[in-house]
């Protein structure tokens, strides 16, 4: 922002996004879980790369309009990758809807983003995303164990029935 006094240039103010202190840790935890974060942003490429480097994100797509975000999500999905989109703005709403799982930041998010998302975080604590992913992985593991156990029991009873030692 350029500043003038009596129509004479007096200086400028440089504005930039700040990174939440918990964001770096959350991204590192996601990387440990085998999740590949991608930064899709409407910001200028220099700003996007600066933020991405602070957060250890290697895949950066800058200068994105809403339709660009949709195209990138479709590309990942066509390659067989599940996509979880996290956003808070009106321009994120279409991408939140298109993603396999859309997560909106409810405390600071726009109404459009909140409406389009599958999950809305009521607090602005981004670390809850990591916790939700860990819980979902554990839940998925328990479900697979339960299905396996049930199939083993059913097959066992079927075999016993074939020999006349039980009935279904």
Residue 131 to residue 15: CA distance in whole angstroms: 32
Q: By the 8 A CB rule, do 87 and 95 touch?
A: yes
Q: By the 8 A CB rule, do 118 and 98 touch?
A: no
Residue 73 to residue 102: CA distance in whole angstroms: 11
Q: What is the structure's pLDDT at 150? A: 97
This prediction's pTM = 0.75
Tokens of 162: 């074939």
| Chain position carrying tokens 């066509």 | 78
Residue 64 to residue 92: CA distance in whole angstroms: 10
Q: By the 8 A CB rule, do 60 and 49 touch?
A: yes
Q: What is the structure's pLDDT at 81? A: 93
pLDDT tens per residue, the chain (168 residues)? 899 999 999 999 987 778 888 888 889 989 998 899 999 999 999 989 999 999 999 999 999 999 999 999 999 999 999 999 999 888 999 999 999 999 998 776 688 888 999 998 888 788 888 888 889 889 999 999 999 999 999 999 999 999 888 876
DSSP string, 143-161: HHHHHHHHHHHHHHHHHHH
Residue 34 to residue 13: CA distance in whole angstroms: 40
Q: What is the structure's pLDDT at 65? A: 94
């Amino acid at each position: 922002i350029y500043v003038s006094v009596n129509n004479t240039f007096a200086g400028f103010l440089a504005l930039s996004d700040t990174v939440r202190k918990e964001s770096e840790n959350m991204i590192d935890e996601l990387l440990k879980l085998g999740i590949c974060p991608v930064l899709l942003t409407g910001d200028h490429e220099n700003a996007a790369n600066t933020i991405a480097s602070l957060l250890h994100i290697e895949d950066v797509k800058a200068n994105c309009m809403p339709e660009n975000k949709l195209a990138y999500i479709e590309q990942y999905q066509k390659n067989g990758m599940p996509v979880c989109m996290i956003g808070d703005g009106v321009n994120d709403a279409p991408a939140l809807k298109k993603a396999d799982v859309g997560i909106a930041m409810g405390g600071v998010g726009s109404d459009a983003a909140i409406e389009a998302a599958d999950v809305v975080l009521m607090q602005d604590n981004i670390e809850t995303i990591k916790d939700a992913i860990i819980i979902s992985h554990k839940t998925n593991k328990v479900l697979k164990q339960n299905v396996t156990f049930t199939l083993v029991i059913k097959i066992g009873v079927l075999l016993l029935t074939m020999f006349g030692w039980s009935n279904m």
